[in-house]
A and B are shown apart, each in its own frame.
Chain A
């Protein structure tokens, strides 16, 4: 799977999770809902090394256990990838508020 992934043109960025509970139920749902509005493949990862997971899957996002105060890495691939990365970074940076 990794080989295939490396062939693709990912656009990536990071943002620090401010919410003291980390990627909890409410932020996880918000993040996946936003990711789903883009056609691009969107993935996230955290520094504790579980690898990249699908940002459109609330179950996977929950299991990532991305903790507070740590960077969340975001990458996207596809037509609207740049917009997707910008939008997700902005969501994390405004602490998941509307």
Chain B
């Protein structure tokens, strides 16, 4: 069993995406900067600190320039703080009093962070994380490190308390083996980003950060939700076997990539791609999918409210990329765990049950109309479909349809090229799933992430409830089946675009429920097609 005399330790977590991988621990966070500076002179500390501020600002500017709109406002705020004389003054006065610049910066920032957290104001408490991020960035620079935690060796497995979307996007995932975070949940925004890119990710890790030392060998197993520190011979042998198997599977999946997906008993299944970020288009060949089943538009709204032309430009690019394949664009789905500064409503006691998705769009019709106009113009370019998130009652969909007709008439009067696209709805609220047939939707798209959280009453950003948020819970599967039946009865299309469709282990249950169109994370298209190719209906009938 063990010959390394019990150095091996295992920790549990929740697998999000990817498979088993070996790598070296690299702890992201304050451990990186424990090496404190010695005080030299006031002049030298001031000079070094000013240089560090400049270097940190350059890093943030590079992140902002990298089309990283997702966290644009936050990065702009951090950048502004680096030029905040009132904030920096106490740092300089501490330096003048004989403190090393790293200690002075850390002390001032810690005070500010505590103050942000103290107020009991959620918005301010969220910004505390940005201050901590900024504090760590400057300390890393002072520690002689380069961008993003400095020299991270190839094949590293990152260990972090939390990973923000901006930190995630700032890392070079082609060089890294994976990441495990203490916080986070499998349906958070970072999880979606990781899945789209096929990053090996585990969240909700049940371990203290100080259990890890940089450079230690780690075995990350998101499939079984286990992270092993210094795996012993036995564990290594098993892992190697599974990695070889995964490589073979990967090859099988790869060979299936460009083929139409067909089940083992010969049924055609349409596999579409989820697009959350225009950057993905440059890395993907459209011929690996049957179209786009879910194009998110939240990224357009991250920095400021986009105009009609800016939105139209993205829709134009997307439809061109798809080359005649159908493209389904979802109208803005802000709120819940996806706040948009200046648009979503802060301070709601329960944002997941609040003014989010199309509820927010209807509350801000002047903003919604701009998106509808851009979509109506894009519909003239190719096979576009439009869907609305968080629809709960039929009247909401009719309001949207009426708004679209009004904008269409207006565009036509102005002589603009435009068309009325099929208007569908996301089915993610149990009320909508139970009464799907009563909606005049041109198609249905089941959003499994929200459907699960609302059915199981388990918030998707709460890691401790993850076991309850089971996609295979009979209640969830029943709602999916009912939606499929309603679609069949009404003779309209139905697909599923949540994370369930990106997880090979759930494909069988979805096909059992009668679905024949799935929209998944681009990196999962191969594995999902492989799972489809192995599927045979169980005794020919979907379980009831």
Contact = CB atoms under 8 A, between A and B. Distances in A.
B261 to A, nearest CB: 43
Given A20-B345, A98-B304, A25 B127 contact: yes
A84 to B, nearest CB: 17
A32 B81 CA distance: 10
B154 to A, nearest CB: 35
Interface of B: 73-74, 76-77, 80-81, 84-87, 112, 115-116, 119, 121, 123-124, 127, 130, 303-305, 341-346
A33 B130 CA distance: 19
Contact of A59 (B74, B76, B84): B84
Nearest to B340: A21
A21 B84 contact: no
A62 B127 contact: yes
Interface of A: 19-22, 24-29, 32-33, 54, 56-60, 62-63, 65, 95-98
Nearest to A58: B80
Contacts of A95: 342
Contact of A21 (B303, B305, B345): B345
Nearest to A68: B346
A33 B80 CA distance: 8
A20 B86 CA distance: 27
B93 to A, nearest CB: 16
A60 B88 CA distance: 12
Contacts of B341: 21, 24-27
9 pairs of A and B residues whose beta carbons are closest in the complex: A57-B86, A58-B80, A25-B77, A59-B87, A21-B346, A26-B73, A24-B341, A29-B80, A26-B341
Contacts of A22: 123, 346
Counting chain B CB atoms within 10 Å of each CB, the highest count among A28, A97, A98 belongs to: A28
B73 A25 contact: yes
A32 B112 CA distance: 18
A69 to B, nearest CB: 12
A96 B114 CA distance: 28
Central interface residue in B80, B84, B119, B346, by most chain A CB within 10 Å: B80
B92 to A, nearest CB: 15
A58 B78 CA distance: 9
Contacts of A21: 123, 341-346
A41 to B, nearest CB: 12
Given A21-B345, A29-B77, A96-B342, A57 B87 contact: yes
